Amino acid sequence: MANAQKIPAKMMAIAISEPGGPRVLKPETRDVPVPGPGEILIRVRAAGVNRPDVQQRKGAYPPPPGASDLPGLEAAGEVAALGDEISRWRVGDRVCALTAGGGYAEYVRVHAGSVL
């Protein structure tokens, strides 16, 4: 991981244990994702809750192929690490992003083109 601050190997995330109501959201320990070329790792400080997240929790909105199984299509925080080919952002920048999933975690990996 190029240009990274000290990042733990594990993180807390909120996963969907089974389809259902809000009580199916359970904390669990996961590996921190590693950003690839053109990706940014965000240390999440806030995550949005939107209709697709609720539908995913109910089992009616599967994540797209290759996306995180964690809910959270919106996240805000600061850049924790940069993958290769990133020039616009720096570690420590405060950002928000649209994600393909995974925002309900301490860290989320996103494509740089989805970061504001």
Question: Where residue 53 sits, what CATH number does that domain have?
Answer: 3.90.180.10
pLDDT at residue 102 in the model? 97
pLDDT at residue 103 in the model? 97
Asked whether residue 25 is assigned to any structural domain, the reply reads no
Asked whether residue 7 is assigned to any structural domain, the reply reads no
Q: Which residues of 17-46 are buried (b: 16+ CB within 10 A; e: fewer)?
A: eeeeeeeeeeeeebebbebeeebbbbbbee
Asked whether residue 38 is assigned to any structural domain, the reply reads yes
pLDDT at residue 69 in the model? 95
The rounded average pLDDT for each run of 10 residues, N- to C-terminus, in the chain (116 residues) is: 77 97 97 96 96 95 92 97 94 96 97 96
pLDDT at residue 64 in the model? 87
Of 44, 53, 29, 38, which is closest to residue 108 (Cα–Cα)?
Answer: 44
User: How many domains are contained in the chain?
Assistant: 1
Structural domain boundaries enclosing 72: 33-114
